[in-house]
Each structure stands twice: as C-alpha cells, then as structure tokens.
Amino acid sequence: MKRRAFTLAESLVGMFILAVAVLGVLACLIFAQRAERQAANDYQVAAVARGVMAEILANLRLSQQSFQVSQSCPRSPIVSHPELEYQIDDSLVGPRSKKVHLVIYYKNQQGTPCQSAYWTEVYNAIQD
Amino acid sequence: MLFTCLFVVLCLYAVCSVIFANSQLDLRMQVFSEKQTQTELLAQAALNRCLREANETAGWETSHTVAAGTAWDPPPYQAAPMVIDSAAPAQGYGWIEKTADPNQVLVRGYCRLDGQCVLSSATCLRRPQSNAQVYMPQNQPGHLPQVYQFDRGTSNWSALPPVPSLLWRQTPPGPEVLRNSSPPGLGQPGFAQVAHFPLADDAGNFYETIYYSAADLASVADATRLDYLVRHPTGGSDWEILPPVPLEGYVNSLSGTPTLVATLSTDPDRQICLGAANKNQLIVGQRSQASGVVTLYRLDDPTQQGARYSLTADSMTPLAGATAWTALPYCPEANWTTSATLTVQANQAASKLTSLSMDKAANLYGLLDKPVNQQDVLVYYSAATGQWSFLHSPPSFAYGYDTSDRWTVQRIPEVPEKLVETAVDPDGNLYCVWRRTGFDIDSVFKFCPDGTTPAAGGFLAGTWKVLPAAPRSHYNRFGTLVQNPRATCPQFNSMAIDSTGCLYLKCSPFISYLTQSLDQVVYSWDCATGGEKIDKILPPIPEVITDPDYSQPTLYKQVNSGLVNSGSLQLAAGGIQSTTQVRIVPVSYFSQ
C-alpha cells in the first residue's frame, strides 16, 4: 500500500507547534538561569553576613576591655568579596550587653543596588 | 506528524515544568537563606538577652526556668514573649531549662520571623559569683619580701603590707613578734626577711611561709620551729600566724612501714615546702631535707586557727579555733619502668613530692619528681577513702607550627618525663606542664577524671587533653608588651587557678640583654570556656620596694620604683566566692 506524504499545511502546523514549544523551553531556561544566579548571589550575601558577624563576635570574645571598644565600621568593601560592601554599627545596651547591626550592600542581577540588614545581641559573661 | 509533534511538545512541556519548579525552589531558597540567617541571629539575640536577664535581674531566672525535657512549642515561657526587634515582626523567647546536673542548665533562645522558626541553645554552668585574685610574692635582696596582688575586678596590681616577723613559742604556747636587730645596729624592725610558697584559697585568704635562720631565733630559746605559715585575708590590713606545723615526719625503715618521727625545733632538716588550700582545709607538705620525704599535714577550718597581729596597734589577738594539724597517710613510692608499668613500693614513703593541688572536695593531686631519664609520677589522694593512687602519664604531644604558621599539636615518639607544675580547677580537672628534655617549649595538659574513685595503688580513670599554645610575649622593664605570635612561650615556671576557674601560667623569665633584666608575663586562660590560644596576658606589675622604717618597729615604707617587677618566681591564685550569688556562664561565652 502506497503511503501518503505530509501536506504543506500539516508541515507548517507541526513546525509552528514545535517552534512555540522550543521558545517556551528557552524562556524557561533563561528564567531558571537568572533565578539560579540570584539565589547564588543571595546565598553568598547571607554566607558573608554570617562570616562577618562571626568575626565581630570573635573580636568581642577577647575580654571585657575589648567588649567596651566599639566595633563600628563605616561602609567598606569586603576584602574577600570586592563586589560586596559592609557596614557595622554597634551600641552597648548594658555594661555587658551589646547590639550589633550589620548591613551588606550588593547589586542584584539587574545591577540594582540592594542591601541586607542583620542584627543580633551579644552578652559577655566573662568575669573579669 | 501531528501526533508526533504533540508528543514532542508534551515532552518539552514536562521539561519546562521541571525547570520552572527548580527555579521556583531556587527563588524560595534565596528568600529562605536571608530570612534564615536573620532569624538565627535573632534567636541568638534572644538567648543572650536571656543570659543577661538571668545574671542581672533578680528573680528572672526563677520565673523563667522550666523542667528538663519540657516541650518548647509553644515555648514554655512563663511570661510574655520578648519583642526583640521593634522594626520587624519578630518574636523572641528565652528561657532556662534544668538538667540532671544542678550546676548545669540549658539556656534557650527562640525566634519566629515570617514563618521561619529557629531555636538556639547554649549549655551553661552555674558558677559562684567570685572576685578573683592573683598573688605573686617576691624576695627582694636588701629589701623586705613583697607580695603583689592582682584584683581581676579592677584589673589592678597592688602590694600587700610586709609580713611581720611572727613566730610561735612553746612555753607558754602562743604567738609572738620577733624584733631582732637585723641588720645589726639599725634598730629593730619587726618584719620577716624571707617568704616562700604562696597559697590562696577561694575564701579570700593568701598564705605563705616565712623562714628564719637559727641565728635569727637565737634570742628565742623556745621557738617552736624555724618556719611559720602566715595568712592575709583579702581586704584586711593585718597578717595572721597559723599554729605551727608539728615537727614530725615520715621516716622510711628497712622493715615495716614508715613511721612519724619527731625532730628538734631548730633542726633545719624539716621545712615547709609546698601546700594547697581551699576554704575549709589547708594542706602543707613538710620535707626532710636529708631524705626528701614529704609529710603532709591537714588543718581544718584554717581561717579560725592561730592569731591575728595588728601592726598599727602592735597587738596579738588569738583566733577562736583550736583544731590541731593532722598528718595524712604517706604517699607510697612509685616508679615507671622502661616497659611503661608502674612499680609501687607500698612500704616506702615517696621522696620528692614537688607539687600539690587540691580540688573543692579536698582530693589531692601531686607530682613525684624523679631523677634525670626517669619518668615523673602523678599521684592522687582521695579525701573520701584516705588512699593514694596514681595517674597515667599525659600523651606524647608537643606544640609545633604548620605550613600556614598556625600552631598545631604533634604526636612525638617521646615519653613525657619531666612534669613541672600541677593545678586543679573548680570542676576537679588537673592541669600539668610537661617540659621536654632538650627542648625549650613546655606542653600544657588537662586531665578530666571520670568521677570514679580508684582503688588504693590503682589508677585514676579519665582522659588527657592538650591545651592551646601561648604566643611568646614579655614586658620590658618599662611596661611595654613585646609579642612574637610566631613563637611559642618557652617554659612555664608556675601555674595557679583562681576561684572563678581561670588558669594562670607564669612564663619563665626572659633574659633581656637590652635592659639587663628578667622580663616575664602571666597568661590567663579560662578553664571552662577555653580559647584557641592562651593569649590573654595580665597587666605588668609595677615594682614596689618595701623597707622597714628603722625609727619604729611597726612602721614601713613602700615606694613605687617606676619600673616593672620582673623577679617574682611563684604564683598563687584564689578569690572570694559568694555563697549565695551565682552567675550563669555559657560553656562557650558567645553562643555563635
């Protein structure tokens, strides 16, 4: 039995459906790539924030004298991550308690300046 | 064709869905990581706020303590939640959980922020509120002996008044002040000329031993002995003399066990050489110079024994107590053999017990000093059973530096032979220093007993740990701290632990060729919380010169020389522990 070939109309409709589908996949891929970059960027910001905060707390561990010294720092670049900047502001809320504010400045994928703010409170139980 | 295309499109749709879901997850994680970090920090803030309130607000702990194992969601918080961030909808909670150990608690901080919940915990110890002190006595040639006292509350060094030349007569038994003309022709100063072996307890008392020569006591025919223990209570201006230690000591015999044998009061063979103190008991060791055997004596309730001498009123006031010294059982001789087994001679009293430390339960740790090429022996005396046992030697670890110049601990094929110092912290852990033969770097070890009581002659069970290294540092004569973080402190010649559990290590004097002086520092390290390095250093000691005022036997002159003291050899640490107030101290001070 002789098989009939595709008509032009059939081929055009098929190609159109495939093109739409491929474009959808491409759009998805682009969106996924952007989202991944954004997530990685924000992960890095959060990780850097944890690291900076840990360093501040390590400095405060030294003694009651160093606890009284302000850890405040104006907006400055982070040496290990030059694309990021940080700012520290601390204040004593008691003779042995201190509130530490940390802001990380960065740019998102679109190049828009963004910032993430964190704070915590530390208590120095060292009996000097 | 159409069906084929539709099938392909269906497959592509499935791929798209997966990619899209993955992207959504990434985006959610992005928000999650930032919020999670902030929520964790706020939970830590809640925990630290909880610590602050517990330590600084009366009654807070009682109203915010729950039993162990209580469900925490919803938080078992007995008061309104703390609002820990007024700018964000964050709610923080803090409470204290009891544990099976009454001295240990769990401090919890809990925060809820935008659907994120984080619980932060810190294991904490209850420590008595304590004002710690460190003492460093010094015999200064040509001047009166000096005792420097460091108060951790004020971070200041000060000088104690000189020790009056107190002694104890035999007939009638009682204390007296010796007033010899020394040096001859310069009046009659009533101050002791030589003092050694500092001790401090956790009730604010400082002890040391003053020594006389037979010539000094020539005018006192019935002096009890040549050396006497004196005490200085914190905050007081007067020194007190303790009842004399009996002039008896263990003597080994060829047949049978060692017996206590008395000697003459002026016999210089028996001298007080070491000791240990807590607020209830004082233990001193009296060594026979001839045989090296040390006899330990215990005095109960020592702060009530003896007599107080007021320098200003020149008067003696007997204290109320009437407890006598009691001899402890002798420590048996023991030696490590080359096959790493301990040979114990139960019928021989040990010679050369060179270090003694006591925990709060009055158990003793000591060190038997052995000749060169023999391994020193660590001994343990149980106050409960009255029996001596032994400790295994510390592991063979020494300090070194890795390729990144960070200090490391390295195992070395060497047996720790020379142990030079011991000290015990308030939790009953032993610290000792190993001096490597042929090397100038001491290793500091900590022994944590497992709490079991060993059998007589057996071994105390526990584990050894190595403490961090101390960077090399010294003060020059003008008080400037000189540090070399790439080098390790070579040797420690004294070690003590204060009433708060802070370990002090005195570095062996460093010979400065520029200033022609011996420079030294005292490191401090908290036993409970530790640190990556032993790098906290006490301030320099302003040198004080004390001389008698020869015009009046009870007057003296203390002058600050303007330089830094550099000649102290020994260290003692103690303090005043409150019996009612406690502090809650995290095992790691900051919970991050």
Give the tens place of pLDDT for each residue, B481-534.
887 777 777 788 899 999 888 899 998 766 655 555 556 789 988 876 677 778
φ, ψ dihedrals at B62, nearest 5°: -60, -40
User: Bridge-partner residues for A119, per DSSP?
Assistant: A101
Name the DSSP class of B320.
S
B543 has a pLDDT exceeding 80: yes
Record: contact B49-A97, CB cut-off 8 A: yes
- CA distances to B172, B188, B210 from B289, in Å: 29, 31, 17
Report the C-alpha gap between B334 and B366 in whole angstroms: 12
Residue B110, CB-side half-sphere exposure with 13 Å CA sphere: 17
A82 has a pLDDT exceeding 70: yes
Q: Is the bond preceding B184 in cis, omega lying within 30 degrees of 0?
A: no
In a domain, A33, yes or no: yes
pLDDT in tens, A85-105: 999 998 888 888 888 899 999
Say whether B457 sits in a helix, a strand or coil: coil
Q: How many of the other CB atoms lie within 10 Å of CB of B359? A: 19
Q: In chain B, which residues have their Cβ closer than 8 Å to the Cβ of A46?
A: 33-34, 36-37
**Of the partner residues A22, A42, A127, the one whose CB lies closest to the CB of residue B583:** A127
Residue of B nearest to A62 (CA): B536
B100-114, B239-253, B465-479: which is most confident: B239-253
A30-44, A108-122, B64-78: which is most confident: A108-122
Q: Which residue has the tokens 């215990």?
A: B298
Cite the DSSP H helix spans in B57-153: 60-63
Strand A113-123, strand B502-507: pairing: unpaired
Report the C-alpha gap between B515 and B383 in whole angstroms: 48
Judge contact between B396 and B465, C-beta under 8 A.
Answer: no
Record: contact B22-A32, CB cut-off 8 A: yes
Report the C-alpha gap between B247 and B243 in whole angstroms: 12
Judge contact between B346 and B332, C-beta under 8 A.
Answer: yes
pLDDT for B75 equals: 55
Chain A contact probe: residue of B105, B589, B591 with most A CBs at under 10 A: B589
Q: Is the bond preceding B183 in cis, omega lying within 30 degrees of 0?
A: yes
A124 has a pLDDT exceeding 60: yes
In a domain, A3, yes or no: no
What pTM was estimated for this model as a whole?
0.77
In a domain, A65, yes or no: yes
Tokens representing residue A42 in the block: 């924000």
In a domain, A1, yes or no: no
Chain A contact probe: residue of B13, B23, B499, B527 with most A CBs at under 10 A: B23
Q: Is the bond preceding B413 in cis, omega lying within 30 degrees of 0?
A: no
Judge contact between B136 and B541, C-beta under 8 A.
Answer: yes
Q: Compute the mean pLDDT over every residue in chain A, rounded to the nearest whole number.
A: 83
Residue-wise DSSP of B323-349: PPPEEPPPPEEEEE-TTS-EEEEEEEE
Reported ipTM: the value is 0.79
Worst-scoring range by mean pLDDT, B84-88, B108-112, B450-454? B84-88
Mean pLDDT of B371-381: 91
- The alpha carbon of residue B450 is apart from the nearest alpha carbon of chain A, in Å, by 27
User: pLDDT class for B72, splitting at 50, 70, 90?
Assistant: low
pLDDT for A65 equals: 61
Mean pLDDT of A73-90: 89
pLDDT in tens, B384-394: 999 999 999 99
Q: In chain B, which residues have their Cβ closer than 8 Å to the Cβ of A24?
A: 12-13, 16
Tokens representing residue B580 in the block: 């009612």
Report the C-alpha gap between B401 and B489 in whole angstroms: 13
pLDDT for B209 equals: 94
- The alpha carbon of residue B101 is apart from the nearest alpha carbon of chain A, in Å, by 20
Q: Which residue has the tokens 């038997």?
A: B368
Say whether B85 sits in a helix, a strand or coil: strand
Report the C-alpha gap between B278 and B357 in whole angstroms: 10
Report the C-alpha gap between B297 and A75 in whole angstroms: 65
Report the C-alpha gap between B314 and B300 in whole angstroms: 28
Containing structural domain, residue A86: 8-123
pLDDT for B591 equals: 34
Judge contact between B214 and B175, C-beta under 8 A.
Answer: no
pLDDT for B413 equals: 85
B31-40, B128-137, B293-302, B537-546: which is most confident: B293-302
pLDDT for B345 equals: 92
B589 has a pLDDT exceeding 50: no
Strand B166-169, strand B156-159: pairing: unpaired
Record: contact B37-A46, CB cut-off 8 A: yes
Say whether B393 sits in a helix, a strand or coil: coil
Record: contact A39-B27, CB cut-off 8 A: yes
B356 has a pLDDT exceeding 50: yes
Name the DSSP class of B183.
S
pLDDT in tens, B296-344: 999 999 989 999 999 888 888 888 877 889 999 999 999 998 778 899 9
If contacts are CB pairs under 8 Å, which of residues 56-95 in chain B contact chain A? 56, 84-85
Residue-wise DSSP of A44-101: HHHHHHHHHHHHHHHHHTS-HHHHHS---EEEEEETTEEEEEEEEEEEESSSSEEEEE
Residue of B nearest to A54 (CA): B592
pLDDT in tens, A47-61: 888 888 888 877 776
Q: How many separate domains does chain A show?
A: 1
Strand B510-512, strand B502-507: pairing: unpaired
Record: contact A38-B130, CB cut-off 8 A: no
pLDDT for B592 equals: 32
Pairwise pLDDT comparison (B198 vs B25), residue with the higher score = B198
How many percent of chain A have pLDDT more than 90?
A: 11
Pairwise pLDDT comparison (B397 vs B12), residue with the higher score = B397
Pairwise pLDDT comparison (B541 vs B8), residue with the higher score = B541
Q: In chain B, which residues have their Cβ closer than 8 Å to the Cβ of A121?
A: 44-45, 48-49, 84
In a domain, A2, yes or no: no
If contacts are CB pairs under 8 Å, which of residues 500-559 in chain B contact chain A? 500, 526, 529, 531, 536
Judge contact between B284 and B245, C-beta under 8 A.
Answer: yes
Mean pLDDT of A104-114: 86
Burial class (CB in 10 A: 0-12, 13-18, 19+), B440: exposed
B403 touches chain A (CB under 8 A): no
Say whether A21 sits in a helix, a strand or coil: helix
Measured at the alpha carbon of residue B189, what is the angle toward residues B134 and B170, in degrees to the nearest 5? 85
Pairwise pLDDT comparison (B260 vs A69), residue with the higher score = B260
Residue-wise DSSP of B21-35: HHHHHHHHHHHHHHH
Record: contact B2-A14, CB cut-off 8 A: yes
